[in-house]
Amino acid sequence: MVENRPVLNFVAHAVLILGAVVIAFPLYVAFVASTLPYEDIVAVPMPLLPGDRLLENYGQVLLHGSTKGSGAAVWRMLFNSMVMALAIPLGKIAISIISAFAIVYFRFPLRNFFFWMIFVTLMLPVEVRIIPTFQVIADLGMLNTYAGLTLPLIASATATFLFRQFFMTVPDELAEAARIDGAGPMRFFWDVVLPLSKTTMAALFVIQFIYGWNQYLWPLLITSEETMYTTVIGISRMIVLGEVTEWHLVMATAMLAMIPPALVVVLMQKWFVKGLVETEK
């Protein structure tokens, strides 16, 4: 603080509080709607205080889904989302850390070629190759499978870059000492590189957990069976055109879909900020 200006401090707090309230408002409305009976929501204006249907609404969606839209049980969707949110970061970290290790700690023919191949994937997000990627998955018989949901999303240049960048900062003396002591490359990897990379892995895990949990276009394309829906897909399937959408159930599902990633962001804030700022460098 350069100087003390009470008026400006007051304005700063006021703006931040206003911002936080406006940002939180949709969440509050969603929570209130998820505790009301349907009749209260369609009675304009809907009440702005929570009702008494919390347990009924959440129980209904968890076990039976909605009654007018998709009737798939949400507990199953939460499970599918969790599979994606865990398999994608773990798979990404595993394949990226070993390929970055190879690229940094070895000299071999085609090394630059491989590096370039991984780099180019930055430019091919799933959105621009929708139809052909779908066909590859269909040809491989991976529609409606967990492999189809996760495998195409675990290759990523960002994670490989992040590990490569980190390995570059590891002092050469460590590798030298390991070699003098007679340790092979894999021994060095397990005993030195892996323990040193913990922070980077944690940061990457948080970001990729959210990425995996929030996937939309990909599961939308390759899941047609209700048992394979992720929570986010399930929500959009519950919305039916016209005025019959059961908003109380949609909002209960939306709350369930938001809680796990929001908890990860809030509880692991330090890793989250680190991961966010570093993966974009």
Q: Tell whether the torsion through CA atoms of 220, 202, 179 and 169 is positive or negative.
A: positive
Quickly tell me which residue has 């340790």 as its tokens.
183
CA distance 5 to 34: 43
Number of residues engaging other proteins in binding (CB under 8 A) = 107
Where in 114-173 is the site for other proteins (CB under 8 A)? 114, 117-118, 120-125, 127-136, 140, 151-152, 154-155, 160, 167-168, 172
Nearer to other proteins, 63 or 186 (CB): 186
Choices 52-60, 67-75, 190-198, 217-225 (CB under 8 A): range interacting with other proteins: 217-225
Where in 49-78 is the site for other proteins (CB under 8 A)? none
Find the binder of other proteins among 30, 86, 90, 240 (CB under 8 A). 30
End-to-end CA gap in the chain: 29
* Burial annotation 181-193 (CB, 10 A radius, 16+ → b, else e): eebeeeebbeebb
Instruction: Map residue 214 onto helix, strand or coil.
Output: coil
Rg (CA), the chain: 24
Choices 41-49, 50-58, 66-74, 192-200 (CB under 8 A): range interacting with other proteins: 41-49
Choices 53-61, 64-72, 194-202, 271-279 (CB under 8 A): range interacting with other proteins: 271-279
Choices 57-65, 69-77, 196-204, 244-252 (CB under 8 A): range interacting with other proteins: 244-252
CA distance 256 to 134: 29
> What x-and-dash track marks residues 173-212 binding other proteins by CB under 8 A?
--xx--x----xxx-x---------------------x--
Quickly tell me which residue has 């249907």 as its tokens.
53
Nearer to other proteins, 202 or 265 (CB): 265
CB 208 within 8 A of CB 273: no
Using CB under 8 A as the binding rule, whether residue 262 contacts other proteins is answered as yes
